[in-house]
Amino acid sequence: HGHMAPPNSTTGIKLYYAGGHCHAPSCISLNLYNADTGQLLCSQTPLYGKSNRIFDEKGYVAIPPCLWSDPDQEDGLLNTMVLPLNGNLTSIKRNNNTYNHRGEMASWQMRGVFV
């Protein structure tokens, strides 16, 4: 939703949230890599609903996001990292094509701050 130009002194983006998007019933996994270092940044495996309870609805997929926080926080999350502004990312999505589903994508939503 809109693009903000980074301040002149910005060296990178501190990543706090990454969430991939895919659809049931074909989505198997989504992995996000730092293409420059080969580091796996985020690995997501969809959870398929089994009941009629909220967030566990049969026929729907929940994809828990990857979350990071600053090292001084005691919240059990991984420490955030700084991605360089000219860094490259690679997304690998695995799909099962047993079931016909049109409109597949492997998009990511991410949140971070300029540093």
pLDDT tens series, the chain, 115 aa: 556 666 678 889 999 999 998 876 788 999 999 999 999 999 999 888 899 998 889 878 888 999 999 988 889 999 999 999 999 999 999 988 887 777 777 789 999 999 9
Predicted local distance difference test score (pLDDT) of residue 9: 80
Contact 31, 92 (CB under 8 A): yes
Predicted local distance difference test score (pLDDT) of residue 7: 67
Contact 81, 73 (CB under 8 A): no
28 residue type, one letter:
I
The dihedral built from the CA positions of residue 91, 95, 97 and 103, taken in this order, carries a sign that is negative
Q: Of 41, 22, 32, 44, which Cα lies nearest the Cα of 95? A: 22
**Rounded to an integer, what distance in angstroms lies between the CA atom of residue 112 and that of residue 15?**
4
CB burial string 47-82: b at 16+ within 10 A, e below = eebeeeeeeeeeeebeeeebbbeeeeeeeeeeebee
